[in-house]
Amino acid sequence: MEANQTLDARGLNCPLPILRAKKALNGMPAGDTLKVVSTDPGSVKDMEAFCAQTGNTLLASQLAGSNFEFLIRKS
Is 51 in the active site? no
Nearest of 28, 32, 47, 37 to residue 9 by alpha carbon: 37
Q: CB–CB of 38/10 below 8 Å? A: yes
Identified catalytic residue from 12, 14, 44, 59: 14
Beta bridge partners of 73: 33, 57
User: Which residues carry out catalysis?
Assistant: 14
